[in-house]
Amino acid sequence: MKLSLNWIKDYVKIPDDMDLSRLAYDLTMSTVEVEGAENLRDRFDNIVVGEIKEVLPHPNADKLRVCKVDVGADDIKDIVCGGSNLEVGMKVVVACPGAMVRWHGEGEPVEIKNTKLRGVASFGMICAAVEVGLADLFPAGDDHEIMDITAFDAPAGTHLADALGLNDIILEIDNKSMTNRPDLWGHYGIARELAALYDLPLVEFDKFVPDVKEVYDVRIADTERCPRYIGAKIEGLGIKPSPFEMQSRIWRVGMRPINALVDITNYVMLAVGQPTHVFDSTHIIDHICVRRAEDGEKLQLLNDKDLSLSSDDLVIADAEGAVALAGVMGGAKDSVLPTTNSVILEIANFESKGIRRTALRYDNRTEASSRYEKAIDAERCDVALSLSMKLFSELYPDMKLVAFNDKYEKKTVQSEIDVETLWLERRLGKRIPPEVIAKKLGAMGFKVSFTDTNMHVVVPTWRSTGDVSIKADIMEEVARMYGYENFEATTITTSFDGAINQLDTDLIRRVKEYLAFRSGMQEIFTYPWMSEECVNAILPTTDNVLSLATPPSPTERFIKSSLLPNICRAIVKNERNFERFDIFEESKVFLDERYTSNYKNEKLPIEERHLGCAFVGKSDDISALYRHAKGIIEAMPRFTHMEGFTFKKEEKPYYADEVVWQNIYVGDKKIGDIALLSKKAALACGIKVLSAVLVEINMDELVPFKSRTNRFVRMPEYPMTDYDISFLVDSMVKWEEIYTAAMEKAKGGLLRSVSFVDEYKGKQVPDGKKSLTIRLVIGSDEKTLTASEVEEVANGVMKKLSKTFGAERR
């Protein structure tokens, strides 16, 4: 919302030497956020009043003229101009070199320089209204008309802002910072805050007393939705422009002046925040009735929208039908017309929620509806009436109020709140003297009375529509007016009742830090919705997948039930820049199943915390890629202090390659998978070249240790020998089988461990075979073994492998 400082000064006498940045700061700290303050005068720097002394033909152009223009102190300049309305004696707007104007009102402002036009030197430019941003105030008859300010009493050379009375400061207020304050949506409301802040008097409006006997027929059928309706029939009017100052104010705060009748209603709204409306009284048949619309009732709005109404809409109707959508917009037929010379002035109060529903229903929010939906108090009609009648009589000295009615069916009840002074003191951390509280709150219209222990507050009507209703609200009013910055810092005290111990929370962090710092993986974030092509490639079905009612795009409606589809998207994205990378994401996934919740009355779908990983590289050594991935997953429990994993081959993941996959278990519980993404699925996701080993683990199933469980093992007293043996074996024999068989030989006590060293298939190895190298650790607790004793253990292992698998030592 824009505010004119001059306008505010009508209601509160802010000292002229008040520092503007101080005012903006104080308003920001205590009331609303001031986003900017513009000195309007700056827009018209180097733009002055010029008086045309002579109009001469241009030697080289038919449509241009060379004007001799007095630009101040008899300084006559030649200015080339193509204006269609140039006349000697006319006062015009001259943009001197250095001024910023918009060519033909379009594009960014450009700086005016001395120039030559078709061979004739020109000092600056004679401007059209649109070029200096004043088209709303000086509408041009045609495109070539220049702005005529002959009517203004300002000598040549006067700064345009001085000539037109545009020396004003425009404050820009963040609307979001006052959605809860219906009283602030006009200049008067902000003036009241400033009066309270700076202890200045606030101008009061006189109560208007109608001196007319005839009662205008106003009927309210729904007093909940329309607590008050003032109808006033006024004659002796007519269509004409409003005075320049009124137009100028309306324009300065961002609206367009239309004609005197409409301008009065807009001016009143901008001044006191109360929307008003005028109907052409010759079009209102018999009476005004505020009622619910009938379902399907037709109404054409002022903006030519044709509505078919709902019975939830409130309308203003006459004897024949709806004439306006209450609180939102007038109807096209019955509002101000070029022939209007008598009106019905409407000043009404409407209930906020209904107005909001209607405005949203027809996507037709207006300045009026946005004010009504904040909940305006019914008393404000009085202020609006007072100002309206004052303006009518000023603008139309011959006007006559011929009929009047103030149907006030439901008063806005003033909130009354009791606040224990001790409570206030404890919560504020400070005692503020009662007289200070009474003064500050009093300046904002609150009535405060004190007893020994209590403070009784009567809230003004304009704050009683929901804004101030509980004692915490009073505390806020006291604190912000006292000044949030004027409270001394207080320390935080606590009682110690044990250290924070959150095993699950800590485990998640350890896992992520393990992956990032020890395993060299990069964490990524993805959206909670999955893109459809990856979903189809990765998931066997979408039956148990939740979706969004209003997705960000039609192909992103599914909510994550697995992390892998989005991880595959991330692979596609990074494949362009990297040929080797490992990524992971830790995030929630959701399943459209078993609706339960730990919290009362709520039914929530299954939600699991998952870990998803991708190990991405070239396709030439899948074995190395798989072992790299598996190594990181295998070692995770050890480094993150949780129950260990086992790997089994029970259930192939849908997206997995036929051969390269395993399921991950904790105890008997399957908690995830590790698998090579099949070529088919990779292509469907859009992964062009690289191969990916994917891992997904349900982190909710991980079991953190309560503390570290590593046990010290005494170092062996006698040396241990590493003994490598290589042998050929059928290529289908699995490492796990070899290991199990070899370890049977450990029962004697000398064989300490068996581990994998290398696997080789290739030139020197016959088809159907592979060469395997394993490492035995051999040693005794009683003595140093001799070479032949070591050899004997190794031979025993080899014999076992030969017998079981037909292995041949190489």
Q: What residues between 573 and 632 interact with other proteins by CB under 8 A?
A: 573-574, 577-578, 581-583, 587-588, 590, 597-605, 607
Of 298, 411, 518, 799, which lies in the binding site for other proteins, with binding defined by CB under 8 A? 518
Residue (of 376, 463, 358, 364) closest to 417 by Cα position: 463
Of 139, 520, 749, 766, which lies in the binding site for other proteins, with binding defined by CB under 8 A? 520
With tokens 């014999």, the residue in question is 799
Of 64, 253, 515, 564, which lies in the binding site for other proteins, with binding defined by CB under 8 A? 515
CB of 530 to other proteins, least distance (A): 13
- x/- track of binding to other proteins for residues 17-56 (CB under 8 A): -----------xxxxxx-----------------------
CB of 550 to other proteins, least distance (A): 5
Nearer to other proteins, 219 or 512 (CB): 512
- What is the phi-psi region of residue 768: left when phi exceeds 0, alpha when psi lies from -120 to 50, beta otherwise? left
Rounded Cα distance, 239 and 235, in Å: 12
Stretch of 150-158, 380-388, 544-552, 772-780 contacting other proteins, by CB under 8 A: 544-552
Q: Judge contact between 694 and 678, C-beta under 8 A.
A: no
- x/- track of binding to other proteins for residues 284-323 (CB under 8 A): ----------------------------------------
- x/- track of binding to other proteins for residues 354-373 (CB under 8 A): --xx--x-------------
Nearer to other proteins, 374 or 407 (CB): 374
CB of 731 to other proteins, least distance (A): 33
CB of 508 to other proteins, least distance (A): 9
> Pairing relation of β-strands 218-220 and 529-530?
unpaired
Question: Using N-to-C axis directions, what is the helix angle for 471-482 and 434-443, rounded to 10°?
Answer: 90
- CA distances for 444 relative to 1, 463, 724, angstroms: 21, 10, 91
With tokens 């104010």, the residue in question is 249
Q: Which two tokens stand for residue 293?
A: 């619309």
CB of 330 to other proteins, least distance (A): 24
Sign of CA dihedral 422, 424, 429, 430: negative
CB of 224 to other proteins, least distance (A): 15
Nearer to other proteins, 73 or 549 (CB): 549
Question: Please, which residues have CB within 8 angstroms of residue 175's CB and are 6 or more apart in sequence?
Answer: 1
Of 109, 528, 686, 796, which lies in the binding site for other proteins, with binding defined by CB under 8 A? 528
CB of 41 to other proteins, least distance (A): 20
Quick check: 423 binds other proteins (CB under 8 A)?
A: yes
Which run of H or E residues covers position 76? Answer: strand 76-81
Chain positions 256 to 285 lying near other proteins, rule: CB under 8 A, are: none
Stretch of 46-54, 214-222, 565-573, 673-681 contacting other proteins, by CB under 8 A: 565-573
Of 473, 533, 634, 759, which lies in the binding site for other proteins, with binding defined by CB under 8 A? 473
Chain positions 143 to 202 lying near other proteins, rule: CB under 8 A, are: 177-181
Of 519, 721, 771, 780, which lies in the binding site for other proteins, with binding defined by CB under 8 A? 519
Nearer to other proteins, 577 or 788 (CB): 577
Quick check: 429 binds other proteins (CB under 8 A)?
A: yes
Nearer to other proteins, 429 or 667 (CB): 429
Q: Judge contact between 347 and 310, C-beta under 8 A.
A: no
Residues in a beta bridge with 675: 661, 694
CB of 476 to other proteins, least distance (A): 3
Burial letters 49-64, b for 16+ CB under 10 A, else e: bbbbeebeebeeeeeb
- x/- track of binding to other proteins for residues 474-503 (CB under 8 A): -xx--xx---xx-xxxxxx-x-x---x-x-
Strand spans (E) along 597-639: 604-617
Q: What is the DSSP string of 120-161?
A: EEE-SEEPPGGGGT-TTTS--SSTTPPPB-TTS---TT-BHH
CB of 176 to other proteins, least distance (A): 9
Of 202, 516, 660, 684, which lies in the binding site for other proteins, with binding defined by CB under 8 A? 516
Nearer to other proteins, 527 or 735 (CB): 527
Nearer to other proteins, 229 or 529 (CB): 529
- DSSP-assigned letter for residue 103: G
Rounded Cα distance, 365 and 540, in Å: 47
CB of 172 to other proteins, least distance (A): 12
Q: Which two tokens stand for residue 802?
A: 């030969």
Stretch of 99-107, 314-322, 333-341, 510-518 contacting other proteins, by CB under 8 A: 510-518
Question: Please, which residues have CB within 8 angstroms of residue 79's CB and are 6 or more apart in sequence?
Answer: 50, 66, 67, 69, 94, 122, 123, 124, 125, 126
Quick check: 544 binds other proteins (CB under 8 A)?
A: no
Nearer to other proteins, 444 or 570 (CB): 570
Chain positions 655 to 684 lying near other proteins, rule: CB under 8 A, are: none
Helical H runs in 650-776? 679-685, 735-743
CB of 271 to other proteins, least distance (A): 23
Stretch of 80-88, 300-308, 504-512, 678-686 contacting other proteins, by CB under 8 A: 504-512
Burial letters 195-206, b for 16+ CB under 10 A, else e: bbbeeeebeebe
Stretch of 288-296, 432-440, 516-524, 646-654 contacting other proteins, by CB under 8 A: 516-524
Nearer to other proteins, 213 or 594 (CB): 594
Stretch of 194-202, 214-222, 340-348, 514-522 contacting other proteins, by CB under 8 A: 514-522
Rounded Cα distance, 432 and 452, in Å: 14
Nearer to other proteins, 161 or 511 (CB): 511
Chain positions 318 to 357 lying near other proteins, rule: CB under 8 A, are: 353, 356-357
- DSSP-assigned letter for residue 600: T
Question: Please, which residues have CB within 8 angstroms of residue 133's CB and are 6 or more apart in sequence?
Answer: 43, 102, 105
Amino acid code (one letter) for 210: P
Strand spans (E) along 572-655: 581-596, 604-617, 646-648
- CA distances for 715 relative to 709, 719, 751, 783, angstroms: 18, 10, 16, 14
Nearer to other proteins, 137 or 355 (CB): 355
Residues counted in the chain: 810
Q: How many residues lie near other proteins (CB under 8 A)?
A: 88
Nearer to other proteins, 486 or 707 (CB): 486
3-state DSSP assignment of residue 46: coil
